[in-house]
Amino acid sequence: MVVKTELITWSNKFACGIKLIDDQHKELVELVNEMFNHVTGNDLQEHNYFNRVINDAVSYVKTHFATEEKLMLATKFEGYAEHKKEHDSFVLAVVENINDYKAGKRLTLSTFTRFLKDWVLSHIALVDKKYFEYFKKVATRKEDGRLSISSEDVASAKM
């Protein structure tokens, strides 16, 4: 049996209550844990793994950012511009790290994964948290108990 290690353990303190966002954040946590579980110390194995997954990983992160930004804009969240800057600078930092990793510069899969972990944890806990209450306030609770932001919520959102 393969024992999997969690570099990040999902906790309800990361949850905002909007299923769409929480599911995406859980996927990000899963992605970091998955990468961490491919840290073997074998450079060739790690590079092969990295090359297989990194494009999908970056595209997943971009999809998540686009989802949040779309909801912020649609609901007129006033922290949108500041938040988008954080997303953009992270994408730039990731691209730099990827290029360094591919060029064999010092970075290892372990350091790259820890960089992702630190960013994901601090971003969700500090930066994303700024919209949590606002999104909850404008969202509608569906019959199954889930919170969701509908077009009616968007139309009635105020700052």
Cα–Cα distance measured from residue 75 to residue 46, given in angstroms and rounded to the nearest whole number? 42
Subset of 53-72 contacting ligand FEO (CB under 6 A): 64-65, 68
> How far out from the chain centre does Cα 103 lie?
25
Q: Which two tokens stand for residue 30?
A: 């899963």
Q: Which stretch binds ligand FEO (CB under 6 A): 33-41, 106-114, 121-129, 149-157?
A: 121-129
Confirm or reject binding of residue 84 to ligand FEO (CB under 6 A): no
The helix or strand, by DSSP H or E, that contains position 41, with its residue range, turns out to be none
According to DSSP, the β-strands at 140-141 and 147-148 are antiparallel
Choice from 19, 38, 114, 123 touching ligand FEO (CB under 6 A): 123
Does 47 sit near ligand FEO (CB under 6 A)?
no
Residues that bind ligand FEO (CB under 6 A): 25, 64-65, 68, 83, 87, 123-124, 127-128
